[in-house]
């Protein structure tokens, strides 16, 4: 039975384990942590909704994602660099090597980029 104010959703066992492990590190219940993650993703999706029609993946290699930005009529390179704790940060060449812009958010959100970085 879900906690009061929560609904049940079905996820893969592997995804559940990942969320559960991260929740423990944050000293939170799995349901609470999962809700926070989903809320964050929906917020980001809403904020970048206007950019996504203008951004397109051109190519992907070991440490760089090439994106076509039709709004600015540019090809943009987004570099993937190792960060603390084994994580990866993205840096945009167009936006003064910032680690947070529509291009870095787009690159980080692409499943094929996340899958390539796992290997």
pTM of the predicted model as reported, rounded to 2 decimal places: 0.57
Q: Distances in Å between the alpha carbon of 25 and those of 6, 12, 15, 19?
A: 21, 20, 16, 10
Q: How is 95-108 classified by DSSP, letter by letter?
A: TTT-SSSHHHHHHH
Is the pLDDT at 40 greater than 90? The verdict is no
Convert the pLDDT of each residue in 41-81 to its tens digit: 787 777 767 666 789 899 998 789 999 999 889 999 999 88
Greater confidence, 83 or 23? 23
Q: Give residue 14's pLDDT.
A: 92
Domain ranges of the chain: 13-48, 53-118
């Amino acid at each position: 039975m879900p906690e009061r104010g929560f609904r049940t959703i079905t996820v893969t066992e592997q995804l559940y384990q990942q969320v559960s492990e991260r929740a423990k590190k944050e000293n939170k219940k799995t349901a609470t942590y999962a809700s926070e993650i989903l809320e964050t993703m929906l917020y980001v999706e809403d904020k970048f909704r206007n950019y996504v029609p203008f951004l397109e993946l051109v190519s992907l290699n070991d440490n760089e994602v090439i994106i076509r930005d039709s709004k600015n009529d540019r090809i943009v390179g987004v570099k993937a660099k190792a960060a603390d704790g084994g994580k990866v940060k993205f840096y945009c060449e167009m936006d003064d090597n910032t680690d947070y812009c529509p291009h870095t958010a787009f690159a980080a959100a692409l499943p094929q980029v996340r899958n390539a970085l796992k290997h």
